[in-house]
Amino acid sequence: MPSAVVLLLAGLCAWLGVCRGQSASSGSGINDMLLHAIHFQGELPCGTWDCSCATRQTDCCCAANQLAALEDSTFSWMVDLWEKVEHLETERKALTESRQVAFSAAMTAQSGCFGPFTTNVPIPYTLFTLNDGEGYNPALGVFTALWPGVYSFSYTAHSHLQNPEGRLYHKIQLMKNGLVVASTWEDNREDTWDSGSQVVLLHLRRGCQVYMQMLSGRSICGNTLENNRFSGYLLYPDYE
């Protein structure tokens, strides 16, 4: 009989002795049981003994080979799954890290007014604090889509008159390829300052241009704190 079996039976006998309240000095009964176990010629309850888990109960040892096979197959499955996850992460980075597009820009601070003009003009937000992807051109105030996808744009129109007798008279509009998408305006004599904001989601193709435009005859004044801002970012790309 394999040594593992002997060790298991010896442990089982010792456990039985403890359960029956026998002390260490009553080892003769345990030794007798051990001898009987060693010379046992009958068939084990599980049929065959072909494992080495000598310290476990019989039913565990009977299933040891099957459990080991299940453990090996589970481990192989987990390794394969982890490799697939790493491959997907690599593909995700290749697709998204190169498509990180975001910008934020402001009009230069000035106490005077921008405008009025005799024609509609793009607004130059020349002070930019963010331009990931280099899609925004601060010299022109124009954003060009580097990738097709859905973009989020926001802007703030703020005007403050120094003269209490003056007139708030501005209108700016968000343009996409020359077409008006959203606008903000003010035309009153009731106060000396006013502001408004807009957030717009646009689906753009590669090369589409988005910019802010000042309408002719209108003006923005008293932008001393750079409150007039224009920003945008790629919300999610279209995978070509």
What pLDDT, in 10s, does the model give residues 59-77?
445 556 666 778 888 888 8
Residue 47 vs residues 2, 42, 61: alpha-carbon distances, Å: 15, 10, 11
Q: Coil, strand or helix: which one is 82?
A: helix
| Per-residue model confidence as pLDDT tens digits over 158-174 | 877 766 666 677 788 99
Q: Please check whether residues 80 and 29 belong to one and the same domain.
A: yes
* CATH number, domain with residue 189: 2.60.120.40
How much is the pLDDT for 224? Answer: 72
Domain that holds residue 118: 100-237
One-letter identity of residue 146: L
Whether the model pTM is above 0.85: no
Shared domain for 107 and 219, answered yes or no, is yes
Mean pLDDT within 118-138: 91
Do residues 131 and 189 both lie within one domain?
Answer: yes
In the listed set 60, 78, 94, which residue is the last one of a domain according to the structure? 94
Boundary (domain end) residue, out of 28, 60, 94:
94
Q: Which residues fall within 8 angstroms of residue 2, CB to CB, at 6 or more apart?
A: 49, 52
One domain for residues 108 and 212: yes
Q: Within this chain, do residues 21 and 80 fall inside the same structural domain, yes or no?
A: yes
Nearest to 112 by CA among 10, 219, 3, 1: 219
CB 151 within 8 A of CB 234: yes
174 in the same domain as 66: no
**Alpha carbon of residue 223 to chain centroid:** 37
Task: Say if residue 72 is in the same domain as residue 105.
Answer: no
Which of these, 80, 78, 74, 132, lies nearest to 105 by C-alpha position? 132
Q: What is the pLDDT of residues 2-30, one digit of tens each?
A: 444 444 444 444 444 444 444 444 456 66
What is the average per-residue pLDDT within 213-236? 86
| Same domain? 57 vs 156 | no
Closest to 212 (Cα-Cα) out of 123, 151, 138: 123
Q: Is residue 28 domain-shared with residue 132, that is, in the same domain?
A: no
Domain end, chosen from 73, 94, 115, is at: 94
Query: Do 216 and 133 share a domain, yes or no?
Result: yes
Q: 27 to each of 4, 6, 16, 146, how far by Cα in Å? A: 21, 17, 12, 85
Q: What share of the chain is helix, strand, coil (3-state, %, to 5)?
A: 30, 35, 35
Query: Do 33 and 146 share a structural domain?
Result: no
Query: For strand 193-204 and strand 149-160, is the pairing parallel, antiparallel, or unpaired?
Result: antiparallel
